[in-house]
Amino acid sequence: MTINNILVVGVGGQGTLITSRILGNLAMSLGHDVKLSEVHGMAQRGGSVVTHIRYGEKVYSPLVEIGQADIIVSFEKLEALRWKHFLREDGIMLVNTQEIDPMPVIIGTSTYPEDIILKLEEECKNVISIDALSRAKELGNIKVANTVLLGLLAKNMSIPKENWIEIIKTTVPEKTIEINVAAFESGYTA
């Protein structure tokens, strides 16, 4: 009985929740049992956030355990380092190169770690980084950066591309379907 374990991490406000829900609904539409665990309330205010997504034949716990994640999608570089220990040995780390300074860095009591991608590559077998923010800017709306990341995630999963595009079309506001599909393609072909 294989359970797929995905962690979506980032900074509160980046849209990790929406991305997770898209994946959760997609997995359900394909006939899987699904559980998602989300973060609401205080932690959403610019804090480190994580959503757990698990699907398969029968899912009990809503939480991905340390060392269990098949894929981690990190919306922010430092957060990839923070949650890295949840990845299983041959899991895939997908990381957006965007940097958001946490408050201890902003006020100078701490420094933003250097060479994060190198550090990730030293410790994870599969690291794929992407500048989703620049890609979104090029498409004309920085808000679709999370859809770029969704495209990258889709590329690294076994669910057919058409299913992803279909669920994006039914999830995002109608006016933004075109740009979201373009953003998905951008991540998918990265």
Burial of 6 (0-12, 13-18, 19+ CB in 10 A): buried
By CB under 8 A, is residue 41 in contact with other proteins? yes
By C-beta, is 119 or 155 nearer to other proteins? 119
Residue 42 CB, shortest distance to other proteins, in Å, is 4
By CB under 8 A, is residue 36 in contact with other proteins? yes
Which residues between 77 and 106 bind other proteins (CB under 8 A)? 78-79, 81-85, 100-106
Residue 121 CB, shortest distance to other proteins, in Å, is 15
Q: Which of 112, 156, 179, 190 binds other proteins (CB under 8 A)?
A: 112
By CB under 8 A, is residue 33 in contact with other proteins? yes
Name the phi and psi angles at 60, rounded to 5: -95, -75
Q: DSSP class of residue 146?
A: H
Q: H-type helices in the chain, by residue range?
A: 16-29, 77-83, 103-106, 116-123, 132-139, 145-155, 161-171, 177-188
Looking at the chain, how many residues does it have?
190
By CB under 8 A, is residue 171 in contact with other proteins? no
Structural Rg of the chain based on CA atoms: 16
Which residues between 136 and 165 bind other proteins (CB under 8 A)? 142
